[in-house]
A and B are shown apart, each in its own frame.
Chain A
Amino acid sequence: MIEPSGSEYSAENGLHLTPELGFAEGVRDALANLQSSDLSLRYYAAWWLGKFRVSCPEAIDGLIAALEDESDRTELGGYPLRRNAARALGKLGNTKAVPGLIKCLECPDFYVREAAAQSLEMLREKTAVSALIKLLDGGVSQAVQVPGRPHLTQPYEAVVEALGAIGATEAISLIQPFLEHPVPRLQCAAARAMYQLTQDPAYGERLVKMLDNNDLKLRRVALGDLGAIGYLAAAEAIADTKAENSFKLLALKGLLEHQLTDELDAIGVCDHAIRIMNLMDSLL
């Protein structure tokens, strides 16, 4: 699951380095730190390069190399640096990272697989479809909690969302059963992907229904999903749901963007877009 970024706190606050203050030095340090013997510096550098969208060839190559790191390990056998490198590579938009990310889908660390699936979603990478589909092997019956861990056997949410975003219509029959999975967040992910792959409003309505759920976190998830698919019929329900305005604004922004052509001036702004903006204005 990609968390909606409707935080009430500005991401700019509390940073060690900002683009304005010593950005060139920050890039230099981050690239150097990626090779540091201090593992925590490496971990931080990988995050920093993604955060500030540093997409120079050295950053890409350094991060791709970090996908195979063996030195940074958790007690449970996880690969923290690989996770951060995989996350960063999704943000940098360079398809050179794709083979390495696809390989990460087989990593024993759940969180590396999850980060790789999320990044392949961001890269809209068609060539990843078969490797992503493989993670759905066994269907819903295999999608169970790993004993003692806070996650399922595979990062199903990320995988299903990636397949939807990439437009992998060949995965429709594999995704559909996840609409009935006992984990509600995974149901949301499946509804989101099914809508993207079929444009059937029934799937958008499933997400609208989730806006009435008693769990605030689930309502936030549904808001993020509706924004991602730009489901116009949800506009009023989004504005009315019980959640922070920041999350609602982000969802409505997604709807608005789906209504806009690239050239605003040519045609102007349509009535649907105005309707959405009026709702957004009321949430300021």
Chain B
Amino acid sequence: MTDELISVVALADTPARMVTAVQNLAAAKDTAAIPTLIAVFGYNNPAAAAVAVAALTELGEKAVPQLIAQIDDYNYGARAYSIRTLAAIADPRAIDVLITAAATDFAPTVRRAAAKGLGKLHWHKLGFAERQTASQQALETLLFISQDSDWSIRYAAVVGLQSLAKIGDLQQPIRDRLKEMLATDAEKAVRARVHLAQSQ
């Protein structure tokens, strides 16, 4: 059954047929569909990709290993969908991928998605020691990119930091950094977002 739905995706010859085929495949909610759904990210069809993101997010943890393994290093559009999906599932196994994407990707759209995701991973799924190391790494990455020259990256860093401040140990450095950004950031829009983060 799923095999058939997969072959329909492969044969879709118009953007509209592709969207329908991906919708049908998504409705099967079958883990066998995971590689095909990830491949859809590379088809330059935003509507189909949105359906695939939603379907993979719903499959959740089961999709994480393949999402990590199949990240497309040569197509930043596809990569952004993978990162967005991993951020939405929030499985902490994605932390290394998110850190690399946030800190070193050349595409702002990938970096912003990773920054947002780094703030709200499901830390409770990790053991105590692991949780401390991982959340500290996320903090360091977000503090680092909060100094980026691109305003939209700094904006996303603030969003990430705001979520991360739910972890008690990290509150003080986050508060300090936000205060500093409010005083020094050149962009009014970024300062406004800091203000909102501080009020929550």
Contact = CB atoms under 8 A, between A and B. Distances in A.
A246 interface: yes
Nearest to A278: B196
B73 interface: no
Contact of A284 (B159, B182, B189): B159
A257 B189 contact: yes
Contact of B76 (A8, A256, A277, A280): A8
B51 to A, nearest CB: 15
Contacts of A242: 46
B184 to A, nearest CB: 13
Given A9-B106, A284-B159, A264 B192 contact: yes
Contacts of B189: 253, 256-257, 260
Contacts of A10: 106, 108, 149-150
B177 interface: no
B196 A246 contact: no
Chain A CB within 10 A, most for which of B112, B151, B182: B112
A63 B187 CA distance: 28
Given A8-B76, A277-B192, A264 B108 contact: no
B106 A245 contact: no
Interface residues of A, number: 26
A9 B107 contact: yes
Contact of B191 (A9, A12, A264): A264
A226 to B, nearest CB: 15
Interface residues of B, number: 27
Nearest to A245: B109
Nearest to B155: A280
Contact of A8 (B46, B109, B155, B188): B109
A274 B149 CA distance: 24
Nearest to A261: B188
Contacts of B191: 264
Interface string A94-134: 00000000000000000000000000000000000000000
A240 interface: no
A246 B192 contact: no
B102 to A, nearest CB: 11
B192 A269 contact: yes
Interface string A211-249: 000000000000000000000000000000010111001
B195 A268 contact: yes
Interface string A257-276: 10010101100110001100
B150 to A, nearest CB: 6
Interface of B: 46, 76, 106-109, 112-113, 115-116, 149-152, 155-156, 159, 182, 187-189, 191-193, 195-196, 199
Given A8-B109, A9-B107, A245-B112, 16 more contacts: A8-B108, A9-B106, A246-B108, A253-B187, A256-B192, A257-B188, A264-B182, A264-B191, A268-B195, A269-B192, A269-B195, A269-B196, A269-B199, A277-B192, A280-B193, A281-B116
Closest 3 CB pairs of A and B: A284-B116, A284-B112, A253-B189
